[in-house]
Amino acid sequence: MIGIEHYPQLPPLKAAVRDASRFAKWLVDPDQGSLNPDHVRLITSSPHPTGTDVTEAVPAHRTVTRALNAMKIRERTETGERLGRRLYFYFAGHAFGPTFDEIGMWLMDAARDRANVALSFRGYREFFRTFGVFDEVVYVMDCCRDLIRGPTANGPQLSPPNPASVPKVTDFALLGASWGDKSFELLQQNYEPRGILTEAIIEGLEGKAQLALDVQNNVTSRTLWDHVRVRVGELAEAAPVKIDPSPEPMFPNYEMILSSPATAFTTIVNIINQSGLTGTVTFSLQTELYKADLATLDGATPWPGPIRSGFVYFLEVSAEGAPADPRALDTRNKDGKTIEIRL
């Protein structure tokens, strides 16, 4: 987790350190990310940088290199050992976009004429995909992507040996801005600055928005993006000045489950077989979710019980005398309510 808002030679930011700290807090929360705190490294800027000599300023690129060295990536690559299932790479701070697929992340040793000291988003993606010590990597880049041509940013300053085989690594990235655009900070009602992208992501990961949850109450890479692309627009409209955020995703090659919040938007459904039909009933969305013998549906216990609200489900009864077509069950705007269906 990297949050840099105080720079010797660049304008200060207001929310980067707070946002990185909030994301780190979500990661170690036992009811949220559930990571061991010893496995989370938070790198932030000092609120009072001294002097303007950027060559001596820290944290710098070498700070990130030391953090990677502490993970013993070289040793694990040599033995083929995996370091973990998933790595979260978070950055909030000044940045630039020299090309459509690159972000140069500036730490405190940054200056306009020192683009080559920036961390390369493309370089770090290539590093983790090549050496494969994690199965998955999730990137959150809450930063601008201003178009600055010239020297390129640099990837990790270490070169582990090549792995014995091509590793299978999947990554997912949420970027605070499209190429050439800016990301934005906003001021909450309690005057606490927040980055718009980070605010939307944490809301989604915590399960505070219906759109961020799938039918199984999981936050996935796709549902999180569905929430983020809508929520950043809502947050922008509430900002005191006119802003036009343009977040952008880079999707994994399969659906990642990012969190399974304890709190969820649910509707209680109780299907009662009052007519004594004989057969089965199937409750489905895109695929079959629940199936039961009609003889068991006496109303004593709600079936299928609490379900994820916000979707239109389908109820299909296979019994003589029952309607042949599936019945639609709309649970949109039914949070916390009970729906009773008598057959």
Q: Give pLDDT, residue 115.
A: 75
Sheet holding 119-120, edge to edge: 95-96, 104-105, 119-120
The total of other beta-carbon atoms located within 10 Å of residue 93's CB is: 29
Contact 106, 118 (CB under 8 A): yes
Rounded to whole angstroms, the Cα distance separating 142 from 220 reads 19
77-94 pLDDT, tens digit per residue, is: 777 778 889 999 999 999
Rounded to whole angstroms, the Cα distance separating 62 from 73 reads 16
The encoded tokens of residue 338 equal 């009970």
CA dihedral 324→329→330→334, nearest 10 degrees, is: 170
Q: Which residues of 275-297 are buried (b: 16+ CB within 10 A; e: fewer)?
A: eebeeebebebeeebbeeebeeb
Contact 32, 89 (CB under 8 A): no
Cα 253 to Cα 63, 139, 247, distances in angstroms = 31, 15, 20
Within 187-331, residue ranges assigned H as helices are: 196-205, 221-237
Count of alpha carbons within 13 angstroms of residue 323, beta-carbon side: 9
Contact 178, 143 (CB under 8 A): no
Rounded to whole angstroms, the Cα distance separating 44 from 3 reads 5
Q: Give pLDDT, residue 267.
A: 87
User: In order of start, what are the domains of the chain with their CATH numbers?
Assistant: 2-259 (3.40.50.1460), 266-342 (2.60.40)
- Mean pLDDT score across all residues of the chain: 86
The total of other beta-carbon atoms located within 10 Å of residue 145's CB is: 27
Q: Give pLDDT, residue 142.
A: 95
Rounded to whole angstroms, the Cα distance separating 190 from 20 reads 19
- Per-position pLDDT tens, the chain of length 343: 999 998 888 888 989 999 999 999 999 999 899 999 999 999 999 877 666 677 778 898 889 988 888 888 777 777 777 888 999 999 999 999 999 899 999 999 887 777 788 999 999 999 999 888 899 999 999 999 988 876 678 888 777 677 677 788 999 999 999 998 888 877 665 556 778 999 999 999 998 888 898 888 899 999 999 999 999 988 888 776 667 778 899 999 899 999 988 766 888 889 888 888 888 988 888 777 888 898 888 888 888 888 888 888 898 888 877 777 788 888 888 888 888 888 8
Cα 22 to Cα 1, 26, 195, 214, 308, distances in angstroms = 10, 6, 11, 24, 27
Angle between helix 221-237 and helix 196-205 axes, rounded to 10 deg = 130
